[in-house]
Amino acid sequence: MKNLLLATNNKHKIEEIKNLLSDTETKVLSLDDINLKVDIKEDGNTIEENAIKKAEEIYKVSGIPVISDDTGLFVDVLNGTPGVHSSRYAGENATYDDNCRKLLEELKHIPENLRKAKFITVVCYYENINVYFLFEGICRGKIITEK
């Protein structure tokens, strides 16, 4: 059986992936399962860089193939902002609500038909230092006028 380590502390995400792979020859491990405490600074210029960095750093300390991801919200009328900075859009210690408020404030005079946006998620499967794969998913929509 092959081990696969998930680079997340999100319990729902861990259970979801464990269920998806339950009929395979893969043992899905969480960071907690191997008592690994990491705090990786997501300082890449792209979500791809962040996904790779998380996977690579966790692989280096665990030696186990890793799946990591990063997601950004890209608003067309704001030239792709907040993008890679989505989780800290309103500041380094901003909450989800802080980020939403800032975005809605910046879009308050923008008509609904121009509020097109997309979530982009990049997943990195990191087998070893020489072998990794990136997968991208896009969900298109628009920013509504209130939370």
Active site residues: 70
Residue 23: DSSP 8-state: T
Q: What ranges in 9-95 are assigned the alpha helix state H? A: 11-20, 47-62
Residue linked to tokens 């909450």: 95
